[in-house]
Chain A
Amino acid sequence: MRRLYHNTLLLALLGTMLLLPCPGHGQYYFGRNKVQYDHFRWHVLQTEHFDIYFYPEMRKLAEIGATYAEETYRVLEDRFSHNIARRIPLIFYASHAHFQQTNTTPYLVPEGVGGFFEFLKGRVVVPANGSISEFKHVIRHELVHVFTYSKLNSVFKQRGRITTPDLPLWFVEGLAEYWSSGWDSQAEMFIRDGVLNGYIVPVSQMYQIYGSFLMYKEGQAIIKYIDETFGEEKILRLIENSWKEERFADVMRITLGVNLEEFDKQWLYALKKRTYPLLERRDSPEMASSVVTREGIDTKPVFYRRADGGYVVFVSNRMGYSNIYLQKLSASKESAKAEVLIKGERTSEFESFHVLQSKIDVTPSGMLAFVSRSGASDVLNVFDIEHRTMVKQVRFDSLVSLYSPSWSPDGRRLVLTGLNFGGQSDLYVVDLERETAEQLTDDLFDDRDPAWSPDGTVIAFSSDRTPYGAEGYYNLYMVDPHTGAVEPATCSPHNDLSPAWSSDGRYLAFTSDRDGAYNIWMVRNTAQGAFASMPGAGDSASSKRYPAATDEMDELRQLTFFTTGAFDPAWTDSDQLLFAAFENFSFRLRLLEDVVKTFAGSAIVSADTLPCQQQAWVTREVQGDVFSKAVKYRPKFDLDVAQSAVTQDPIYGTSGGAQLAITDMLGNAQYYFLIYNNARTRDEFLESFNFAVTRLDLSHRTNFAVGLYHFAGRYYSLYDFFFWERRAGGFAAVSYPFSVFKRFEASLNVRYSDKDWYVFNRRRQAVLVSNIVSFVKDNSLWGPSGPVDGERYNITLGNTLDVHHSHVNFITLIVDYRHYFRLSRSVTHAVRLMTMVNEGKEATPFFMGGSWDLRGYPLWRIWGTKLALVSNELRLPFIDRFFVKFPIGGLALNAIRGAIFLDLGNGWDDQFEELLGSFGFGVRWRIGGVLVLRLDGGRKFTVPKPSRFHHLKDIDVDKRWFTQFFFGWDF
Chain B
Amino acid sequence: MSTSAGSRNSSLAGTFRLLRAGLLAFGLLAVFGCARLTVPQLTGDDAAHLWPQFGGNPRRSHLVSTTLRPPLELAWQRRTSASVGKTLISDGGALLCPLRDGHLLVVDAASGKKIAQKKFRPGYEITCALHGPLLLVVRRYGEPSLSVHDLRDGRILWSAAAGSIETEPLVAEGRLIVAAEEKKVIAYELASGKVLWSVSTEGNLRSTPAFADGKVVFGSDDGRVYAVDVRNGQVLWQFRTSAAILAPAAIGQGTVCVGSTDRSFYALSLDSGMVRWVFPTGGRIHQAAAVADSLVLFGSNDHFLYCVSLHNGRQHWRFQAKSIISTAPLVAGKVVYVGSLDKHVYALELETGQELWKHDTGGLVSTVPLVAHDRLIMTAEGNRILAFRVKGER
Residue positions of A touching B, CB distance < 8 A: 48, 77-79, 81-83, 85, 154, 157-161, 231-233, 243-244, 254, 257
Contact = CB atoms under 8 A, between A and B. Distances in A.
Given A158-B100, A233-B221, A85 B343 contact: yes
B341 A233 contact: no
Nearest to A255: B204
Contact of A83 (B246, B286, B302, B324): B324
Contacts of A85: 343, 363-364, 381
A83 B261 contact: no
A282 B364 CA distance: 53
Interface in B303-322: 322
B87 to A, nearest CB: 14
B275 to A, nearest CB: 22
Nearest to B182: A257
Interface centre among B125, B302, B326, B364 (most CB of A within 10 A): B364
Q: Which of A78, A232, A244 has the most CB of B within 10 A?
A: A78
B127 interface: no
Contacts of A243: 125
Contacts of B363: 85
A77 B286 contact: no
Contacts of A48: 322
- Specify which of A154, A158, A257 lies most central, judged by the most chain B CB atoms within 10 Å of its CB: A158
Given A78-B301, A83-B364, A231-B203, A158 B81 contact: no
A85 B182 CA distance: 33
Nearest to B301: A78
Interface of B: 81-83, 99-101, 124-125, 140-141, 164, 182, 203-204, 221, 243-244, 246, 261, 283-284, 286, 301-302, 322-324, 326, 341-343, 363-364, 366, 381, 383
Nearest to A158: B83
A76 B35 CA distance: 52
A160 B82 contact: yes
A159 B85 CA distance: 9
A452 B141 CA distance: 66
A110 B323 CA distance: 37
Contacts, number: 70
A243 B101 CA distance: 10
Nearest to B382: A157
Contact of B342 (A83, A154, A232, A257): A83
Contacts of B366: 158
Given A83-B341, A85-B343, A244-B124, A78 B283 contact: yes
A429 B281 CA distance: 51
A909 B100 CA distance: 69
Nearest to A244: B141
Contacts of B124: 244
Given A160-B99, A254-B164, 5 more contacts: A83-B324, A160-B100, A232-B244, A243-B125, A244-B140
Given A77-B324, A85-B381, A159 B221 contact: no
B8 to A, nearest CB: 43
B210 to A, nearest CB: 21
The 10 closest A-B pairs by CB, nearest first: A160-B82, A83-B341, A158-B83, A160-B101, A83-B323, A78-B301, A159-B100, A233-B244, A78-B283, A244-B141
26 contacts: A48-B322, A78-B284, A78-B302, A79-B284, A81-B286, A81-B301, A82-B364, A83-B324, A85-B363, A154-B381, A158-B83, A158-B100, A159-B82, A159-B83, A159-B100, A159-B101, A160-B99, A160-B100, A160-B383, A161-B101, A231-B244, A232-B244, A233-B243, A233-B246, A244-B124, A254-B164
Nearest to B342: A83
A662 B114 CA distance: 42
A81 B284 contact: yes
B177 to A, nearest CB: 22
Q: Is the interface of A mostly helix, strand, loop or mixed?
A: loop
Contact of B341 (A82, A158, A244, A254): A82
Contacts of A232: 243-244
Contact of A158 (B82, B243, B244): B82
A232 B284 CA distance: 12
Nearest to B163: A254
Contact of A78 (B101, B324, B343): B324
Nearest to A79: B284
A243 B102 CA distance: 13
A48 B342 CA distance: 12
A82 B363 CA distance: 12
Nearest to B183: A257
A78 B262 CA distance: 11
B167 to A, nearest CB: 14
Contacts of B326: 81
Contacts of B343: 85
B82 to A, nearest CB: 3
Contacts of B83: 157-160
A452 B324 CA distance: 53
B182 A231 contact: no
A719 to B, nearest CB: 56
Nearest to B164: A254
A154 B364 contact: yes
Contacts of A159: 82-83, 100-101, 125
A233 B286 CA distance: 11
Nearest to A254: B164
Contacts of A257: 182, 204
A233 B82 contact: no
A554 to B, nearest CB: 43
Given A78-B283, A85-B381, A244-B141, A160 B302 contact: no
A231 B19 CA distance: 50
A246 to B, nearest CB: 12
A233 B261 contact: yes
A77 B284 CA distance: 10
Contacts of B101: 159-161
A257 B383 CA distance: 31
Contacts of B283: 78
A85 B283 CA distance: 20
Contacts of B82: 158-160
A244 B165 CA distance: 12
Nearest to B300: A78
A48 B141 CA distance: 38
A142 B383 CA distance: 29
B301 A157 contact: no
A282 B347 CA distance: 64
A408 B289 CA distance: 69
A77 B381 contact: no
A231 B183 CA distance: 14
Nearest to A233: B244
Contacts of B204: 257
Contacts of B323: 77, 83
Contacts of A79: 284
A552 to B, nearest CB: 42
A130 to B, nearest CB: 33
Contacts of A83: 323-324, 341-342, 364
B154 to A, nearest CB: 26
B376 to A, nearest CB: 21
Contacts of B243: 232-233
A453 to B, nearest CB: 49
Nearest to A82: B341
Contacts of B364: 82-83, 85, 154
Given A83-B342, A154-B381, A160-B81, A231 B100 contact: no
A233 to B, nearest CB: 5
B393 to A, nearest CB: 32
Contacts of B81: 160
A778 to B, nearest CB: 48
Contact of B301 (A77, A154, A244, A254): A77
A157 B269 CA distance: 40
B334 to A, nearest CB: 29
A21 to B, nearest CB: 38
A225 B365 CA distance: 33
Nearest to B261: A233
